[in-house]
């Protein structure tokens, strides 16, 4: 099971890390993701023309991919990557079904890893928040 988690996490992390870096600095041996019709090219160009949207998304992908690769706070970064993964899947589903397998793969990897780390998400779904009791180190009594 640990080997499966390592393989899934590393594959997902490397995908997001490498394609995030490829947006800013072209990596020579990385195959491009080709958009096949005019609708997706227009949508991608509109996002690129905003001047900040794709930079923010790809920057988030780089950060999340790096932290997943070193296995630091993996459940948190899987949760941050989930909306990006869902948007990739929906974009490919509605605009470009030639490479829909990529969307299915990314979504399956992300959801499977979140299922494996499901105990880390227990506190998100509590009806009432539980606060840890703590002692302050500052004395207000002079």
Domain ranges of the chain: 2-26+35-121
Neighbours of 16 (CB within 10 A): 27
pLDDT of 122 over the 90 cut = no
Query: For the chain, what percent of residues have pLDDT higher than 90?
Result: 54
| Residue 118, φ and ψ in degrees, nearest 5 | -60, -25
Q: In this predicted structure, what is the pLDDT of residue 21?
A: 94
> What are 70-93's pLDDT values in tens digits?
999 999 999 999 999 999 999 889
Closest by Cα among 113, 1, 51, 95 to 121: 113
Whether the CB-CB separation of 68 and 9 falls below 8 Å is answered with yes
pLDDT of 38 over the 90 cut = no
Neighbours of 21 (CB within 10 A): 17
């Amino acid at each position: 099971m640990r080997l499966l988690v390592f393989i899934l996490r590393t594959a997902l992390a490397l995908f997001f890390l490498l394609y995030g870096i490829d947006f800013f600095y072209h990596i020579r041996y990385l195959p491009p993701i080709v958009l096949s019709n005019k609708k997706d090219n227009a949508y991608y160009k509109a996002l690129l023309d905003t001047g900040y949207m794709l930079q923010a998304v790809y920057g988030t992908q780089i950060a999340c991919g790096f932290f997943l690769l070193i296995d630091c706070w993996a459940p948190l970064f899987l949760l941050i990557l989930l909306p990006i993964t869902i948007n990739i899947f929906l974009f490919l589903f509605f605009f470009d079904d030639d490479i829909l397998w990529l969307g299915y793969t990314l979504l399956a990897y992300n959801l499977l890893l979140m299922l494996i780390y499901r105990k880390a998400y227990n506190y998100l779904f509590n009806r009432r928040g539980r606060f840890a009791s703590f002692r302050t180190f500052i004395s207000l009594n002079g």
